[in-house]
Amino acid sequence: MLKKILVSVCAVAAGIVFLQCGGDDGVSAEQQVRDAYHLDTLAVRKILDANGLASTPAMAVITERDLTLGRIIKLDMASRNLTTITADIGVLTAATYIRLDSNQLTTLPPQIGSCVACQYLLASNNNISSLPNELGSMTGLVRLSLIGNQIQVLPASIGSLPNLQSLIVTSNLISSIPDELAALGAMTAFSFDYNRVCTLTAAITTWLSSGVVQNAVGIDWSNPPDWQMATGQTCQ
């Protein structure tokens, strides 16, 4: 039986025009309207608008959504020339994946700490110089990638992330590793090469040499129990 195709504009919201084609695989008009006016979608719309991207549909950066409740699960805003992430990011409490790579961000807002379900926060290749202490509230984090920024200080609150397995801060301006990171019992990969770390505290040395962190890039353990900073650290 030929499918009946119904084309209708069912919603114009959040910078999205929906065209509904009836069929087994089609998304209902009702669901499209719900998604368009969902608080998560409107939050993304505000972030885009704050960056002069009024013509970019919110759906262009929303890569996965919960089909039952309409919550945003995956958000990919990489390479969008973003200069700011507004407080609206804190609305995305169900998002498990937030990608902000390759933009022009200089900081992350404290409200990102409300994204407690986020497992992957990727914000490499920006101009981020400072991180909010509220990162420590993102207890779902498994991977935090901040390669190629201008970060000088790692917040001690990162040590409060019980599920963090991978912390990648290669190529920043970090000069010390806070002792609180030694509490990260789940972490298996820590890359901090090409920074300014020239000494380690006793607590961090014990942690890194214990074998808990299986892949620590930035330090040379080739001649245990002695260690030295790996090539790439700039000491002043």
159 found inside a domain: yes
Question: What is the per-residue pLDDT for 68?
Answer: 85
Distances from the Cα of 74 to the Cα of 36, 63, 96, 114, 119, angstroms:
16, 5, 6, 15, 10
Q: Is the pLDDT of residue 6 over 80?
A: no
Q: Higher pLDDT residue, 17 or 143?
A: 143
Q: How far apart are CA 227 and CA 16, in angstroms?
A: 56
32 found inside a domain: no
3 found inside a domain: no
Q: How far apart are CA 198 and CA 216, in angstroms?
A: 15
- The boundaries of the domain holding residue 137 are 63-229
Q: How far apart are CA 96 and CA 143, in angstroms?
A: 11
- Tell me the pTM: 0.85
Mapped onto helix, strand or coil, the DSSP state of residue 135 is: helix
Question: What is the per-residue pLDDT for 120?
Answer: 98
200 found inside a domain: yes
**CATH value at residue 139:** 3.80.10.10
15 found inside a domain: no
Query: What number of CA atoms fall less than 13 Å from residue 71's CA on the CB side?
Result: 15
Q: Higher pLDDT residue, 189 or 18?
A: 189
20 found inside a domain: no
Question: What is the per-residue pLDDT for 235?
Answer: 67
pLDDT classification of 160: cutoffs 50, 70, 90 = very high
Q: How far apart are CA 128 and CA 60, in angstroms?
A: 24
* 9 beta partners: 19
152 found inside a domain: yes
Q: How far apart are CA 158 and CA 197, in angstroms?
A: 17
Q: How far apart are CA 46 and CA 115, in angstroms?
A: 17
| pLDDT 10s digits, 33-73 | 767 768 999 999 999 999 999 999 999 999 999 988 889 99
Q: Is the pLDDT of residue 98 over 60?
A: yes
Q: How far apart are CA 36 and CA 58, in angstroms?
A: 9
Domain count, the chain: 1
68 found inside a domain: yes
